[in-house]
Amino acid sequence: MSDTTATLDLHTLLEQAGGQHLLGSLASADLNVNLLAFAGVSGVEEHVNREVDVLLAVLDGKGVLTVDGVARPMAAGQATIIPKGAKRSIRSAGDRFAYLTCHVRRGGMMPKIGTSSPEPGRPGF
């Protein structure tokens, strides 16, 4: 039996990152894993994933995850599960913000990346 285990070197990818967007990903027959990083006030704009729950683990910095209109500050070392069907967006809080997502494998979907700042009085995008 051959070893087909793929590895992402998260530490190296984060060190070499220019601070924007998808840094790396892995896929198996059952799972998708993505490493994303953003700088400034940028992130993934509001979207709905109707197919799968998503585990999100923050690796570096601080950001804001908004789920169904509720803003949740997130920081390195924190993790959450975002339920399928929820409206969600995520953005950095000003400095570099990096996180890993993991979910059951599904068809490709890349939410729109945004650089707009939140509206006054409205957290998130």
Structural domain count of the chain: 1
Tell me if 12 is assigned to some domain. Answer: no
Query: CA-to-CA distance for 99 and 77, rounded, in angstroms?
Result: 10
Mean pLDDT of 69-75: 97
CATH of the domain at 40: 2.60.120.10
Task: Specify the higher pLDDT residue, 16 or 97.
Answer: 97
pTM listed for this prediction: 0.76
Is residue 121 a part of any domain in this protein?
no
Q: Which residues form the domain of 84?
A: 17-107
Query: What average pLDDT score do residues 101-113 get?
Result: 69
Is there a domain that residue 124 lies in? no
* Within-domain flag for 11: no
Q: Looking at per-residue confidence, does 107 or 54 come out higher?
A: 54
Residue 119 within a domain: no
Q: State which H helix or E strand residue 68 sits in.
A: none
User: Beta partners for 75?
Assistant: 62
Inter-CA distances, 90 with 47, 59, 108, Å: 10, 14, 19
Confidence of residue 92 (pLDDT cuts 50, 70, 90): very high
The pLDDT assigned to 19 comes to 59
- For residue 117, the model assigns a pLDDT of 43
Query: Does residue 52 lie in a domain region?
Result: yes
| Residue 2 domain-assigned (yes or no) | no
Domain-located, residue 43: yes
Condensed to tens digits (0 to 9), the pLDDT of residues 9-42 reads 787 787 776 656 788 888 888 999 999 988 888 8
